């Protein structure tokens, strides 16, 4: 069953990330704010990918010395999503 996880990124231009996922796979990704073209590209690349694979590829990407970026914030969102799902199973 598809679920949606909403995340509020920090220190980047995007204001909200909505991740649609099923089991451990990303189905869709929408962002409010940010660089529209780049985020469309990220969405096209991550659809169908496993959550862990996206985390591994995008963690630590830095934008203009901010110490984070929209891709890095997506990785943080997915890490939080995983933690909440594991907590919910206990």
Q: What per-residue confidence (pLDDT) applies to 89?
A: 57
Q: What per-residue confidence (pLDDT) applies to 30?
A: 96
Q: What per-residue confidence (pLDDT) applies to 86?
A: 66
Distance set, CA 69 to CA 4, 30, 52, 59, 87 (Å): 21, 16, 18, 9, 27
- For the entire predicted model, the pTM comes to 0.92
Mean pLDDT, contiguous 10-residue spans, the chain (90 residues): 97 96 96 92 97 98 94 98 76
Q: What per-residue confidence (pLDDT) applies to 55?
A: 98
Domains of the chain are 3-85 (3.30.390.50)
56, burial (CB in 10 Å: exposed 0-12, middle 13-18, buried 19+): exposed
Say how far apart CA 54 and CA 72 lie, in whole Å: 10
């Amino acid at each position: 069953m598809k679920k949606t996880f909403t995340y509020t990124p920090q220190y980047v231009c995007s204001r909200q990330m909505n991740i649609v996922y099923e089991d451990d796979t990303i189905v869709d990704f929408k962002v409010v704010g940010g660089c529209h073209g780049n985020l469309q590209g990220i969405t096209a690349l991550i659809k169908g990918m496993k959550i862990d694979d996206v985390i591994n590829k995008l963690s630590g990407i830095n934008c203009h010395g901010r110490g984070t970026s929209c891709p890095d914030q997506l990785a943080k969102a997915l890490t939080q999503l995983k933690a909440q799902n594991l907590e919910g199973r206990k």
